[in-house]
Amino acid sequence: MARGNGVTEGWGQYLQQFMTVPVSNHALGGRSSRSFTEEGRFNAIVNQLRPGDYVVIAFGHNDGSAGAVDNGRQCAVGDGYDTTATVRTSTGQSIVIHSFPYYMQNAVNAIKAKGGIPIVASQTPRNGWTNGSISPGNRFVGYAKLVAERTGVTYIDHYAYVAQAYKRLGQSYVNTFYPNDPVHTSPAGANVVAQAFVRGLLCSNNSLRSRVNGAGQNVPDRCL
């Protein structure tokens, strides 16, 4: 979702062209739900919110286990809000970390308390294929859906909508969207990923869909 360097770009940079309301992209590369929380970035967004503002939240690419030494981003494994893990930092200090749902649910609830309207989206796919289709999503896709269900907010399965778009385009063409690695998209790829989000939004019951402009109404693919 985050702004890139021109060679790679996040899809959040391409959402404005499909919306009638201003889009402010607060995503930053390399962050997880945990590090975004611990750096105070969710709090900064909440402090700027006005009642009725929409906030799209999507994490997962950087939230996985880091191994023996904590990387400041990993979350405790599990879908429980109260699930924790003790990890060791590079200096040998033991710290307690929480689960992905813990960080996400806290963010959603803080936004709701300020009068904002959160939308939880699943992470986007890596460029990995199985039998002509994007490979199934990891546990964070399921976690994101669970967070939305627990908090009563809109869930957009961005993973599935991107997978649908990629299958239509084909693996060879989609490979051109990933110049450096299987995660970060080119500008052209980011545009396709943004279109997939808009399709998912249009297929939801969230009121933000009424703020999709004519170009957004014409994005390809079907409701899932």
| Residue 93, domain CATH | 3.40.50.1110
Strands 154-156 and 84-88: unpaired
Domain range for 24 is 11-218
**pLDDT digits 0-9 by tens, 71-94:** 999 999 999 999 999 999 999 999
- Asked whether residue 127 is domain-assigned, the answer is yes
Question: Side-chain half-sphere of 59: how many Cα atoms within 13 Å?
Answer: 31
Residues in the chain where the model's pLDDT stays below 70: none
Kindly state whether residue 162 falls inside one of the protein's structural domains.
yes
Domain-embedded: residue 163: yes
Whole-number Å distance between alpha carbons of 142 and 157: 9
pLDDT, residue 114, reads: 98
Q: Supply the pLDDT for residue 75.
A: 98
Q: Which residues pair with 31 in a beta bridge?
A: none
pLDDT at 1: 80
Under 8 Å CB-to-CB from 142, ≥6 apart: which residues?
Answer: 79
| Count of the separate structural domains present in the chain | 1
Instruction: Look at residue 146 and tell me if it is in a domain.
Output: yes
